[in-house]
Amino acid sequence: MESALAVPRLPPHDPGTPVLSVVDMHTGGEPLRIVLAGCPEVSGPTLLAKRRYMRQHLDHVRRRLMFEPRGHRDMYGAVLVPSELPDAHLGVLFLHNEGYSSMCGHAVLALGRFALDFGLVPAPAAGTREARVNIHCPCGLVTAFVACEDGRSHGPVRFHSVPAFVLATDLMVDVPGHGKVVVDIAYGGAFYAFVSAEKLGLDICSAKTRDLVDAASAVTEAVKAQFKINHPDSEDLAFLYGTILTDGKDAYTKEPTTNICVFADEQVDRSPTGSGVTARIALQIHKGLLELNQARAFKSSATGSVFTGKAVREAKCGDFKAVIVEVSGQAHYTGTASFIVEDDDPLRDGFLFK
């Protein structure tokens, strides 16, 4: 019996439904499920067009991989696709419990390792200590720098963001259950509302996660209802992704500042949120609380994991003054899997528990 079970084989399944093969990773506790095979071709002349096509025609792939019973409501995924940009090594579509993100920093950190280890970029020359991986995200081209040894990833990864900028500061919104609340809105590849948890009567470090989620979600819905998000490059990027509650420690300090990100459909990021760190640094630069090349540590209140970040140079995004932000963190592999479907399974496309 032991020798028979040791031979890998698939259980009974619908032969007409492609097997979805994946590699699972995590960055600071936040999962990433990378699709290796089984996703039908994603059509479209541009990455944003491919994102629209996937949403309209292939959403069952997202649901099967993100939802229970194969995933959970906080699962995150990536589908790799060709890019129209000549400098890109790969293009990526990000998947979550509600749909498709424009940027994901924890995923970029993991994909940097994955791209090097799985041969998606040229093998680095002998003695190279850091490999460059150009990843085309829906928000634009993001460059990851992967620490390596003997041609394999080894150690942390850092990335340089798209131009990050502040859309609004000191925006007063009426949040049900909390009254008038002042928030800031900044972009780090995706738009976030930022507010100190203390303003909502919560301690970021000791409050129950459910209470933080409820408060952050209330802020998100209030901002969506009362403020129009605009992006100078594309309407596809003009949406509020979520709310990041902070410890209010925006002025520079050597100690980590703590936050929690609640995005999509009340999904909780286990990491400090790479695109959120990007946006928060842009906000701190905008307010004069941080200088170029001044590094800060950002800690997740969910897991205690830490990313570091700094603004490395000034940039522009439309008429907005912007910065390019470098974010660093550590990703790890957790396993591989092959997901199948049986044709008589009424829950073949998954479900979500709330």
**Residues with catalytic roles:** 104
Q: Strand pairing of 130-137 and 90-95?
A: parallel
Least Cα distance to 48 among 226, 180, 239, 270 occurs for 239
Question: Are 303 and 268 a contacting pair, CB within 8 Å?
Answer: no
Least Cα distance to 213 among 258, 277, 266, 269 occurs for 266
Please tell me the distance from the alpha carbon of residue 233 to that of residue 236, in angstroms, as a whole number: 9
- Residue 79 amino acid letter: V
Cis before 8? omega within 30 = no
Question: Are 20 and 339 a contacting pair, CB within 8 Å?
Answer: yes
Question: DSSP assignment, residue 22?
Answer: E
Q: Strand pairing of 331-339 and 165-175?
A: unpaired
Please tell me the distance from the alpha carbon of residue 350 to that of residue 201, in angstroms, as a whole number: 36
- For the chain, how big is the Rg over CA atoms in Å? 20
Q: Which residues pair with 316 in a beta bridge?
A: 321
Q: Which residues of 283-314 are buried (b: 16+ CB within 10 A; e: fewer)?
A: bbbbeeebeeeeebbbbbbbbebbbbbbbbee
Question: DSSP assignment, residue 66?
Answer: H
The residue with tokens 């200590």 is: 129
Please tell me the distance from the alpha carbon of residue 124 to that of residue 93, in angstroms, as a whole number: 26
Q: Which residues of 33-65 are buried (b: 16+ CB within 10 A; e: fewer)?
A: bbbeebbeebebebbbebbbbbeeebeebbbbb
